[in-house]
Every structure is written in structure tokens, then in C-alpha cells.
Amino acid sequence: MIAQVCINYQDANVDKVFDYLVPTHFENSIEIGKRVYVNFGVSNRIVEGLVVGIKQTTDIEENKLKSVLAVIDKFSIVSKEQIELALSMKNYYALNLGEALSLVIPPFVSSKQIYNICAKKHEENSNMDDDLKKLYESILKKPVSINSKLVKENKEKIIKLFLKGLLEFDLKNFAIKEDSEKNLPLVEPNYNLTEEQNKALNSIISAFDEGGYRNILLFGVTGSGKTEVYIRAIQYAIEKGKSVIFMVPEISLTPQMIENVQSRIGNKVLVYHSKMKSIDRLNSWLAARNKEAVVVIGPRSAVFAPVKNLGLIIVDEEHEPSYKSEKSPRINAVEVAQMRAKINNIPIILGSATPSIEHYFYAQKGRYFLCTLKNRINKNLPEVLIVDMKKEILEGNKSIFSRLLLSEIENNLKKGEQVLLFLNRRGYSPIVICRECGYVFMCKNCSISLTYHKEGYLRCHYCGYKEEYRGVCAKCNSKYVRQYGSGTQKIEEEIKAYFKDARVLRMDSDTTSKKDATEQIVKKFREKEADILIGTQMIAKGLHFPDLTLVGVIDADILLNMPDFRSRERTFQLLTQVAGRSGREKPGRVIIQTFNPEDYSIVFASKHDYESFYAQEIKLRKMMEYPPYSYVVNFIVVASEQNLAKKGIEHVYTILKDFENETDMKVYGPSENPIFKIENQYRYHILVKFKRAGQMISIANLIKERYNYNNASLIIDVNPLDT
């Protein structure tokens, strides 16, 4: 038996595995996902490694083949399934093995507090000197913590005992903490499913019963009762003894969803996310690993939860960009969820009111199964009005607010109903310009203009750089400096000036940086302690306020003007989402302010018409050969000096030349990244479109292998969300 062992498996740069012979006496205890001791390198030092594969043969010559010295773990630290998932991610995203493993190995595995060293019964002939024997017997009597004094002082002897196969790591006996809140009596809804919901649920159940990997796209307008369908599907899976992973885009914005699920499923619900305190995370990890038939609910990282017997995956708001990691490793949790469903041979539900264009396309082609919920339960969708801001200006209104919006706000305040104002830009003004010399105040680390905040400072929204605002030009010392454009702070100030008695709340990353701040603002608004809520896209998602009947979109063009082929898709999604906050219980209205009132993303969003939007957008994608008509990879090269980054990208370009004869592959660039400098790192990129996924994967991996310019690092972004 041969073990494939990854040494330094927690190092992101590691990408190799080595074959080791498994001595027969370890054949029963060795397992994928356990740690082992092996000799490594010419010096043969003893190192720890992780078993990522087991096979029967190797190409290594017999006399060069080293043996596994000891199996460290009693239980594997990552399951075989998770290792398989890591290998799939490594391949698909062209990652190093270490990067891929870092996603599935829980961070506390290297924390010494959670393991004991235990002794195994010893065989008569294991010859030990007295010292060693004494140590062994004391451990046999009572397991010791890895971070105990005894272990620290006897390191070498401990290793000796390990090598004799007499010791192993065991998880300490942690009691899984039960959350008392979760033991509240379960509630059952006082309604029956609608016909549409029933049909959707039945399709999900039959896919579940049949087994097999299958994508089900649940396309349901906001308020159509998707959650109820999810909950019943979860209940069904749990009854059948299976676990469920339920992914939501952002935990702090989905407290209602979580409460909802908990009130129906009870203590089978485990919340799992990377911002948890480490003890809570450990607790969730242990519970996921040990309990039968659980639901793990959480954002991106929930996809890695170590549940047993996974039977169903649900991804709510599957179109949300937050599922994609913008830091390395640049995975997309929706794609990873699909990989995991495939490995387990189970169905995955992708739910959205505004499906991503790619997924809807696959549903149209029959690759995904489509379930549709067309109607809002009992209520109608809000009426949406578009205001042409060009006309407002022509007619003499210079305010950020259109006359219509102002009069509607006034009406709402009179009726005692709530208002939500959406502007996807925080701070006071996004641009500060010297009117004397034209200088735009820039971040010293990034090629980004600084945003003025009314507390008297300028801030870079990319790297967080902050400087005091003196109102003096950095280039020419002129005091003739002005701020342009509006952010949420300015909206707040002006609204308060228009409506002096209104109670106003603001929710953006400046007001929600403290723990629980988001929840508090949401609670305050729900309990009607405020009339108007102003915020960035964090107020657009998921929230439910019964008395909210007016939504104002201050500037719909911010998204539309992004230099990205998905800008219209994003605009449509965000407008639909924010509009969906209005009139959830009483008739509601939405007012969209824009300088592009004819743009189809805005027009169809105002009509709640996803299909027409899709029909236009897919034509454009086809014409431009954008996804789903191609697979895109962005090769980005980053260095602290401009010329090094440039040399790096030229190297990538040279490697790409080797594939010149590949048909169906198009190379764009090299060029400077849209944001050329971020945190003092210069960026160039090359965008490549592939016709086939397999071709994309193999070429991306070859480029990763061949890239060897050490002065600049290469980032491979597969299916990038911002190009």
C-alpha cells in the first residue's frame, strides 16, 4: 500500500505530494485525511505530513521508497470527501495543493488545545528503555494535552513512542455545546403550500429520492415563498437521515432567514461562518462532524462544513457576487457547492429572484431543472417609476432628489409608513478636486480617488488609507478645493435638512463596523424607531420590513457605469432586489433615479420582467462571446514595481503564445488593470476567453506550472466577477 503524502500542507506554496510505503502494521490505521510522520529530504528529518491519497503502486524505485514512520491521528482531520473537494478545486481554479487544502482544513487543527496524546496498548516485544517506558505508562494511564509541560519537555521521547506506533492524537472530549435558544418549541406554519410551491417541492423531493447529481434552479420572484420550499426540502432530507448545507450570501444580513429555519428545524441547525469566535467554530465543526442529519447554514465557508451523509445543498440568492472570493484562493462557493454535490452524487438547489445569466441559460438548455414561482404570496409587486434626472436638471431641479421622490417621501411620512433610500456609495463625496490646477485627490497607495468623509478625513475605499482633510490642494496649495458627487453621508445630511422631523438611520460599512451594529440598525428600523433608512447595497438584500412602502434608488447609474460585461446583470439584480423591499405587506412603490432611463436593465427591472431582460442580455453575450458562450480566465500579475509587473505579464504572454494554434481561444491584452495600483502593488492583466471548460482548465494549469518569474506573482482568476 502506498500513501500520497503532502508535507507542509498548510503552506499555500506547496504543490507536491510524495509517495511513501505503508508498512503492513499501519495498513489498518492509515486513512486519507490523517497526519503521518515521515522522513523527508536528503537529511531525512522527521516531518509531519497529510495523507491525501492511497494507492497500490508507485513509479518510485523500491530502494528509494521511504516508509511511513507513524500514523499520528486517531481520526482524520479532514474527511476523504473534503480532500476530494480540495483536489477538484485545485484542478478547476489552478491552485496549489496547499491553497486548496487551506480551505478544507479547519484552522484549529494546528491549535494544540484541542488534541490529547493517547497511548495505545503496547505489544510485548516493543523494547523500550526505562525512561521511555515510564513516559509511555504515564500516558497510558492518563492522556496528555499536546500543549502540556510533559509533552514539551519530552518531545524527542514522544516522537520515539509515536514511531513505535504506541501513541496517537485524539480529539479532546469536548462536550458539544447546545444552544438553549434552539430548543424553543418548533412552530408550524398556519398555511398550506401554494400550487407553485408544491410543484417545486415535489420536483426537489423526486430528485432527492432518485439521487444523482442534479442542479435545480428555483427561480421565484421576491416574496414568492422560496424559503418555505427550502425549509420543507430540508425537513424531508432530515427525516431521511441526511444532512443539508444551506448557503446564504451574508450571515449578518440574513438573521431573519436563520431564525426562520431555526424555529422550524430546531437544534439540528448549525450556524457556520468564518467570523465566529474560534470556540464557537470548533463547536460547530465538532457538531457537524459528529451529529447525524444536521443543517449547516452559513455563507461561503459553510460549503466546507464537515457534515456526514450529505444529501442536499441549497444556495439561496445564487446570483450574489459575495459567494466569490476576491482574495486568493479565488473560489466561487456556488461552483464549489456544485463540485461537492457532484462528489456526493446529490441534488443542489440554486434559488434566486434574479438568476445569474449563466444559470438561467443552462436551465433553458435543459442542463439544469427549472422550477418557477411566478407570484408573490397574496400581494402584488410594487409599482416602479423611473425618473429621468436629465429632465430634472433641465427643468431647474439641481437637488440630488427628484421632485417625485421628495413628494413621495413626504406622503409616506404623513401616513406613518417607512422609506428606504439606496445609494451604493458610502462617505460624503467620492471625489475632491482642486479647481485651481485640476488635481484629483488620490490615495497614495492606489490609483483610486479619495472619498471625503464628513468627520473631516479622506479615505481610500480600497486599502483603507486615511488622511486628514485640510481643504488645501496637495499639488498647488490652493484653497480653491471642492467636493463632487454624493455618498450616503451626504444623502443623510440633505434628507435631514428637507424633513426636519423625520427619524433617519444610515446603514453602510462605516456605521456597521462594530459587532452587532447591523442587527441593531435592522431591529430599530423594524420596530419603527425610525422613518427613513439610508444605505448601500447591504440594505438591498433579504430584509423584511412590513411597514416599508417606498424605496428610492438615488443613483442607478453607479452600477451601470462599471467597466464590466456583467454591469447590466448587476444593475438588474440590485434594482430588483432593492425594489423587493417595498410593499411586502402593504402596497408599495419604488422610484429609480437615473440618467439612462432607456437602458433595458433599468426598464425591465421596473417592469419586474426577468425574461425580457434575459432575452436581451443573452443576445449581447452571444455576440460578444461572453459567458455562458465562453469561459473567461483573468491572468493578473502583481508586483511592487511597475516594470517587474510588466515583465511578469510579458512572461505570461509568451507562455500563452505556445497555445497560438488552439482554436477557440482568444487573448485580450496584456493591459493595465482597470485599477492599476492597489496597496502599492502594480497590476497588469491578460483576459483569455475559452470555448470549452476542459480547455480552460488545462491551459490555466499549464500556465500556472510554467510561470517562473519570481519578481512578480501571478494570480489566476477563473470565472472572474470583475474584469
Interaction site with Zn ion (CB under 5 A): 434, 436-437, 439, 443, 445-446, 460, 462-463, 465, 473, 475-476, 478
In whole angstroms, the minimum distance from the beta carbon of 378 to ligand ADP comes to: 7
In whole angstroms, the minimum distance from the beta carbon of 464 to Zn ion comes to: 7
Those residues whose C-beta lies under 8 Å from the C-beta of residue 453, and which sit 6 or more positions away, are 427, 428, 459, 489, 510
Those residues whose C-beta lies under 8 Å from the C-beta of residue 38, and which sit 6 or more positions away, are 5, 7, 18, 20, 46, 47, 49, 66, 67, 68, 69
Distance CA 267, CA 248 (A): 19
- Among ligand ADP, Zn ion, none, the one that 675 touches (CB under a kind-dependent 5 to 8 A) is none
Q: Is 460 annotated as a binding residue?
A: yes
Binding status of residue 194 toward ligand ADP by CB under 6 A: yes
Looking at beta carbons only, is 486 or 577 nearer to ligand ADP? 577
Distance CA 321, CA 424 (A): 15
Q: Please name every residue paired with 246 in a beta bridge, in sequence order, or none if there are none.
A: 297, 314
Binding status of residue 258 toward ligand ADP by CB under 6 A: no
Residue window 373-402: x/- pattern of binding to ligand ADP, with contact defined by CB under 6 A: ----x-------------------------
Residue window 174-193: x/- pattern of binding to ligand ADP, with contact defined by CB under 6 A: -----------------x-x
Binding status of residue 301 toward ligand ADP by CB under 6 A: no
One-letter amino acid for residue 677 of the chain: K
- Among Zn ion, ligand ADP, none, the one that 436 touches (CB under a kind-dependent 5 to 8 A) is Zn ion
In whole angstroms, the minimum distance from the beta carbon of 247 to ligand ADP comes to: 14
What is residue 668's three-state secondary structure? strand
- Among Zn ion, ligand ADP, none, the one that 227 touches (CB under a kind-dependent 5 to 8 A) is ligand ADP
Looking at beta carbons only, is 282 or 460 nearer to Zn ion? 460
Q: Is 443 annotated as a binding residue?
A: yes
Number of other CB atoms surrounding residue 498 within 10 Å? 12
CA neighbor of 214 nearest in space, from 312, 334, 304, 305: 312
CA neighbor of 77 nearest in space, from 168, 177, 171, 175: 171
The DSSP call for residue 382 is: P
Looking at beta carbons only, is 510 or 585 nearer to ligand ADP? 585
Q: Which three cell numbers stand for residue 428?
A: 460624503
Looking at beta carbons only, is 582 or 673 nearer to Zn ion? 673
Query: Whole-angstrom distance between the N-terminal and C-terminal Cα of the chain?
Result: 47
In whole angstroms, the minimum distance from the beta carbon of 226 to ligand ADP comes to: 3
In whole angstroms, the minimum distance from the beta carbon of 459 to Zn ion comes to: 9
In whole angstroms, the minimum distance from the beta carbon of 265 to ligand ADP comes to: 15
**Residues belonging to the chain:** 723
In whole angstroms, the minimum distance from the beta carbon of 467 to Zn ion comes to: 11
- Among ligand ADP, Zn ion, none, the one that 653 touches (CB under a kind-dependent 5 to 8 A) is none
- Among Zn ion, ligand ADP, none, the one that 325 touches (CB under a kind-dependent 5 to 8 A) is none
Looking at beta carbons only, is 299 or 329 nearer to ligand ADP? 299
Looking at beta carbons only, is 176 or 463 nearer to Zn ion? 463
Binders in 199-228 for ligand ADP, by CB under 6 A: 220, 222-228
Q: At 345, phi and psi to the nearest 5? A: 60, 50
In whole angstroms, the minimum distance from the beta carbon of 671 to ligand ADP comes to: 41
In whole angstroms, the minimum distance from the beta carbon of 602 to ligand ADP comes to: 22
Give the DSSP letter string of 242-287.
-EEEEE-S-GGG-HHHHHHHHHHHGGGEEE--TTS-HHHHHHHHHH
Q: How many residues bind ligand ADP (CB under 6 A)?
A: 13
| Measured CA angle at 674 (ends 669, 678), to 5 deg | 120
Q: Is 463 annotated as a binding residue?
A: yes
In whole angstroms, the minimum distance from the beta carbon of 461 to Zn ion comes to: 8
Looking at beta carbons only, is 457 or 629 nearer to Zn ion? 457
Binding status of residue 490 toward ligand ADP by CB under 6 A: no
Binding status of residue 249 toward ligand ADP by CB under 6 A: no
What is residue 216's three-state secondary structure? strand
Looking at beta carbons only, is 76 or 222 nearer to ligand ADP? 222
Number of other CB atoms surrounding residue 662 within 10 Å? 15
Distance CA 93, CA 631 (A): 12
- Total H helices, total E strands in the chain: 21, 30
CA 684 to chain CA centroid, nearest Å: 25
- Among ligand ADP, Zn ion, none, the one that 609 touches (CB under a kind-dependent 5 to 8 A) is none
Binding status of residue 332 toward ligand ADP by CB under 6 A: no
Q: Is 446 annotated as a binding residue?
A: yes
Do 37 and 166 meet the contact criterion of CB atoms below 8 Å apart?
A: no
- Among ligand ADP, Zn ion, none, the one that 224 touches (CB under a kind-dependent 5 to 8 A) is ligand ADP
Q: Is 118 annotated as a binding residue?
A: no
Give the DSSP letter string of 513-571.
-STTHHHHHHHHHHTTS-SEEEESGGGTSS---TTEEEEEES-THHHHTSSSTTHHHHH
Binding status of residue 235 toward ligand ADP by CB under 6 A: no
- Among ligand ADP, Zn ion, none, the one that 220 touches (CB under a kind-dependent 5 to 8 A) is ligand ADP
Can you list the positions of beta strands (E) in 648-706? 665-678, 681-690
CA neighbor of 314 nearest in space, from 374, 249, 361: 249
What is residue 60's three-state secondary structure? coil
Distance CA 560, CA 599 (A): 9
- Among Zn ion, ligand ADP, none, the one that 222 touches (CB under a kind-dependent 5 to 8 A) is ligand ADP
- Among Zn ion, ligand ADP, none, the one that 226 touches (CB under a kind-dependent 5 to 8 A) is ligand ADP
In whole angstroms, the minimum distance from the beta carbon of 676 to Zn ion comes to: 12
In the complex, the residues that contact ligand ADP under the rule CB under 6 A are 191, 193-194, 197, 220, 222-228, 377
Residue ranges for the binding site for Zn(2+)?
434, 437, 443, 446, 460, 463, 473, 476
Residue ranges for the binding site?
434, 437, 443, 446, 460, 463, 473, 476
